[in-house]
Structure 1
Amino acid sequence: MTSDIVRIHCRSSEGDTFDKVLVGIAYKKQLHNFTGARNPHKMNLNVLLVGFDSISRMTAIRKYVKTRDYILNKLNGIELEGYNIVGDGTPQALIPILTGTTEIELPESRRGFKNARHVDGHPFIWKDYKKDGYITHFVEDLPPISIFNHRMVGFNHQPTDHYGRPYYLASESRVELYFPFCYKGSKKHNIFLKMFEDFFDMYPNKMKFGFGFHSEISHDDNNRIELFDEDVYLWLKSLEDKGHLNNTMLIFMSDHGARFSQFRATSQGKLEERMPFFTFTFPKWFEKVYPDAMQNFRINSKRLVTPFDIHATMYHMINYDGTGIGDVNNRGISLFREIPKHRTCAHAFVEPHWCACLDWQVVEANSPLLKRAIFVSISSINKWIQTASNQCHFLRISKITRSKQYHANSRMLKFKKSADNHGRIADLSSKTTYDETFYQITFITEPGSGLFEVTVRHNLKSNEMTIGLSDVSRTNAYGDDPKCIKDTLPHLERFCKCKT
């Protein structure tokens, strides 16, 4: 094979036909001969980063029984208990991991926006690995809603040495009758997983970087992960039995918890959305060679960790310069360095709307400030809708379901600096006072019965209340409601109820 993708079409003498698109890893001589730059600072580990959509850590405990048990107990994996997302949806969860930045910091790439460009120029981490001689692979299912194609204009050129998108475009275009989760007798998640097993089989003696994300089976209902728990476990076991994990850092994870379900409307569901399942496994020999790095990793598994830290960790792997204590003022801290215990969401650049560490207090419904915050919320949403008002209805609030307030706790305000050289003891002598507070409001809008969760920032000095797009979550599915702007203004989908 000269291509990773091939279409098989057969017809028997009796008139029966077989038509299927197959995928694998084609032999490419130039990749087997590729060496890259000589780098004495890399840890010489493959990286395999694989995720399934919408699985919180708690959901994994409940539903991912065999997979999670195998990772933690057979592979001696490390689970990040304090992992916290930094934005809404899959792109905001994965872009910081892959680039070390937020989407807003990158060149404009959203469809419907002036000067939008392809994402080829983004600083993807696989580019750094490629320079160091790694063979790269990127696979993602569901082409219409993929990370860089749903709202963005996507890639202009193939981004990695092997790339799964052409397979999904070819196979789904040839399905006369759509069957969820299966493609002509094969489970789709198994096809996805096998792409990476084939990738490792093809390059046993080459350094490899693989990234894959699968959405279909768990995006709308993460209870379905029970359906593939056994298959994922068998895939992991096969990788281990073949020796592929003997020189690989395996990151098995999710982007966030459930976003569209009745459970998400509960306090527990809100918390779980912000704290996805995230694990690391290392070869058995790794801890003997890097004992301090692994000790820090285990400490950090119970500290506040964000997507920026995952990027910093992957970058550290190919630019290793020791361990020590991470700088709490850095947005991303490698997990091979100890994250200071006193790190807060503010240190980690996690906005209050997404921070799972905050203590929100219930606000009385007749509070004048709450009423003002509610007005600011719906006014801001309708201001965004204004750009598509000829196609989308303006919204009105039909019901307030929850309202809470937060301001910095006293211990955080008292923190001044570390009282020792190792960042382990906090000096709580600061006289800092808070100058802003936050309101988090959940409400239903009409038309369309949209369920929104909004965080409003109240500056106590200027008395101004503000919200941004990243401070608004749509927590129920909107289906085809925004179909009239889906292709032109996809960033407004969560707000739009089409007029026709």
Structure 2
Amino acid sequence: MWLFSSKRFKLLKTIALLIVFIYLLYLYLPYDWLKRTKIGVQFRQWMAGDAVFYNTCHRPKYDPWNEEMLEHIDMNFNPVSNCDKTFKPFTKLENGHWSIVDEKTKCRARCQRYKGERENDIGDWMDKAGPVDCEILETVCSNETHKDMYGFLHSQIIETPLDPPKKNISGMQQFDVVVILLDSLSYTQAVRSLPSTRSFFKSHMEAIEFPYLNKVGENSRPNSVALWYGKSLESIDRSLYDEESIDEDWKHEYFCYEFKDNETHLFKEFHEHGYKTMLAEDWAEGSANWPDCVGFKNPPTDHYMRPFQYAYEKVAENITKKHLEGHLCREYHHTLFDYLEQFQNSYTDNVPKFSWFWSAHIGHDDENGFFRVDRELQQYLFKNRKKLENSFVFILGDHGLRFGDQTETTTGSFEKNNPYLGISIPKELRDSTDLLKMMEMNAKDLQTHYDTRATFLDILKYQSKSGFLETETLDIPEEKGHSLFRHQPNSTRTCRTLPIPTEYCICQFDIVEEDSTSSLAENIGKAVIDSINSKLKQGGFEDKCTVMEFEKTLSLKKFKNTFDGFYSINLKVKGESGATFKANVEAKNMFSIIIHGTIERTSIYGRTADCIKSEVHRPFCYCREQPKKVSFL
């Protein structure tokens, strides 16, 4: 008996020592070896019990009207509520002619044409009403003392010659494609703010919504690049899944400082297939140019509204620059609706059109911005319903609201990563094809902007050849997504299997709240701040930007189902900026902290970083010299 017990004791002792040895081996083996070698990865997965949890996407469920969010909502928000509703424009632009409503009023007009992304070709003033051959016309009227009292920017579509398609379109069934992108519109925000629009869109136009769309980049630029080019601007750190990280397709320097005319983008592809194309944004810089990027050397579309925005914001008369401030009941987005409607009513019905409307001013900076456009958007869809019955209509966001107090709520922190997407198809295809059925099925799964892009290409190149009857999976060469009109690959759609950076993933991981005042929380926070300061130094901005100092950890959450010690931290820095940041980190202990993915700026920084131009570094910068009045836009 004693001998048996002795052997048993030795066996247990050996097992215990082996467990301790393996654990110490895990702790002190080189991090790179554990991450990059096959044996190391297998060892980590064995220690973690294999991260099966991340092979499933637990789809989010949030109440758009929860009390936490309601504290930030003002359904009556309307910046033009006190405007002069009796105002009528003094000038008109119709059928290629400009005119003065009251002939006794002294007015003048001039053309604003495209010369470059940041330059207009400004025509001479015309004192007499008559024909004009430009799409953007500035008109100014003066009173008896010759003081300017009225300025206005008109738009129209000047039809251009039909270019022979560069691609073979024989036998293709081509429909118009209309894209209305509302910057910063999330799915649950659309539920709150656009009830009338969604009601008409879903009931009359039979649109299908995709509640689990996941953004693929932090702000508008990487998401627009995914939609327009199918490329990524951010690397994807897959450390959480014990997999190799994925480098970005385009570095910032290439995207920003080389013209993109020669790259394949949606507008070019639609044009090559015989479409007339249009792009309208309510911002002179636009998603491709801010803050110092070159964008396109030549207009990317047949009809490009950029001269309007550049005139309004930069080179028009001072009186003209004031006419969209609200006192005339005209806002920036109204001009986009005008231009879009003008484009839809141009050309003959046998000329297919691809239009892209992108409004940033409505809701980019305020949770409540979308309430006021609900009826306007519904009325636009209603007014143009006959045209839209023969169109694919996409209403979407690029991401959700990224700044403000509401983003610190549970729902708000989720919304910023969950842009809205709804799609209506041509009326004649609703009963004769399985497109609605396919969309309803795919709407239950995680989707990305790459899948939306693949859907555009499916409409353009593939479904158009078969009468939109195909439903089998299609792998489009060099594309990251799969069409929403077809069966998608059988593999489970998660942030592990799709090109979604972990820091933006809307799948609900099993997490636990940690003590935000602990030494670990402080050390992680300081490590994040050190990384921010290091980025500024590497960029050469340490002389222009203040050195960030850690103040406190706002929250620390630990990912469960992994042995590695992955955390998500929200923190605040000291000083006037009051900046807050979010990051994902791996902390094996208090002294081994590794930051994964992008460090997100979660507070508004507006123009406080205007001393530098680099978009990569602006979220981390608070300029040493601040203007007297800072506008947090």
User: How high is the sequence identity, in percent, across the aligned residues?
Assistant: 24
Question: 2:393–2:423: 8 Å Cα contact kept in structure 1?
Answer: yes
> Aligned match of 2:581 in 452, 465, 468?
452
For residues 97-125 of structure 1, give each alpha carbon's deviation from its aligned partner in whole angstroms, at most 9, with x where no partner exists. 11111125455565xx8992123233211
Give the Cα–Cα distance (whole angstroms) in 2 for the partners of residues 122 and 108 of structure 1.
14
Matches of 1:114 and 1:6 in 2, distance apart? 32
Instruction: Determine which of 121, 135, 140 is the counterpart of 1:9.
Output: 140
Taking structure 1 as reference, are residues 207 and 114 closer, same or farther at Cα in structure 2, changes over 3 Å only? closer
Counterpart amino acid of residue 446 in structure 1: K
Letter in 2 for 1:438: F
* Counterpart among 354, 361, 383 of residue 504 in structure 2: 354
Confirm or deny: 8 A CA contact 1:391 1:484 kept in the other structure.
yes
Please point out which of 262, 269, 277 is paired with 1:128. Answer: 269
SS at match of 2:427: coil
Give the 5 Å matches for 1:28-427.
28=160, 30-31=161-162, 34-40=164-170, 42-103=172-233, 105=248, 107-108=250-251, 110=253, 116-144=257-285, 146-173=287-314, 174=316, 175-176=318-319, 178=322, 182=326, 186-205=330-349, 206-240=351-385, 243-291=386-434, 293-320=435-462, 322-325=470-473, 331-339=480-488, 340=490, 342-359=492-509, 360-365=511-516, 372-386=523-537, 387-406=540-559
Distance 1:39 1:465 in 2: 52
Q: Check 1:457–1:297 CA distance in 2 against 1; reply closer, same or farther (3 A cut).
A: farther
CA deviations over 1:9-46 (Å, ceiling 9, x no partner): 34566746543221111132x13x65553325755121
Counterparts of 1:326 and 1:361, CA distance in 2: 40
* TM-score normalized by the length of structure 1: 0.85
TM-score by length of 2: 0.68
Deviation at 1:82, TM superposition (A): 0.9
Aligned residue for 2:389, secondary structure, equals helix
Task: Mark the CA change 1:155 to 1:437 in structure 2 (over 3 Å): closer, same or farther.
Answer: farther
Q: Give how far 1:213 is off.
A: 0.6
- Which of 469, 494, 500 does residue 619 from structure 2 map onto? 494
Give the Cα–Cα distance (whole angstroms) in 1 for the partners of residues 360 and 342 of structure 2.
21
- 1:184-210 alpha-carbon deviations (Å, 9 max, x no partner): 553321211121111010124211111
Judged with a 3 Å threshold, the aligned counterparts in structure 2 of structure 1 residues 131 and 327 are, in CA distance, closer, same or farther, namely closer
**CA offset digits 1:258-311 (Å, max 9, x no partner):** 1111010111111111112211001221133422x3321111112101001011
DSSP 3-state at the match of 1:318: helix
CA distance in 2, matches of 1:335, 1:115: 31
- The CA distance in 2 between the partners of 1:457 and 1:330, in whole Å, is 31
Superposed CA deviations along residues 162-183 of structure 1, whole A, max 9, x for unmatched, are 0011111112333446466548
Structure 2 runs not aligned, ≥5 long:
1-131, 235-247, 464-469, 626-633
CA contact (8 A) 2:231 2:250 kept: no
CA contact 1:330–1:347 (8 Å) conserved in 2:
no
Letter in 1 for 2:482: I
| Distance in 2 (alpha carbons) for counterparts of 1:128 and 1:236 | 26
Check 1:163–1:405 CA distance in 2 against 1; reply closer, same or farther (3 A cut).
Answer: same
Cα 1:464–1:261, aligned 2, differ >3 Å: closer, same or farther?
closer
**Number of residue-to-residue matches in the alignment:** 462
Q: Would the aligned equivalents of 2:159 and 2:347 in 1 still touch at CA under 8 Å?
A: no
Name the structure 2 match of 1:414.
none
Change (3 A) 1:341 1:107: closer
CA-atom RMSD, angstroms? Answer: 2.8
Whole-Å Cα distance in 2 between the matches of residues 220 and 296 of structure 1?
A: 35
Q: Which amino acid aligns with 2:304?
A: Y
Task: Letter of the 1:213 partner, please give it.
Answer: W
Distance 1:369 1:309 in 2: 40
- Largest Rg, 1 or 2: 2
* Greater mean deviation of Cα atoms: 177-186 or 382-391: 177-186
8 Å contact kept, 2:450–2:479? no
Displacement of 1:341 = 7.1
Which whole-Å CA distance do the structure 2 matches of 1:16 and 1:374 have between them? 58
State the SS of the aligned residue for 1:202: coil
Contact 2:474–2:482 (CA under 8 A) maintained in structure 1: yes
- The 3-state SS of whatever aligns with 1:315 is helix
**Structure 1 residue 490: deviation in Å?**
3.1
> Shift in Å at residue 335 of structure 1?
0.7
Contact 1:370 1:439 in 2 (8 A): no
Where does the alignment leave 5 or more consecutive residues of structure 1 unmatched? 410-433
Secondary structure of 1:382 counterpart: helix
Output the CA distance in 2 between the equivalents of 1:80 and 1:115: 31
115 and 237 in structure 1: CA distance in 2 versus 1, 3 angstrom threshold:
closer
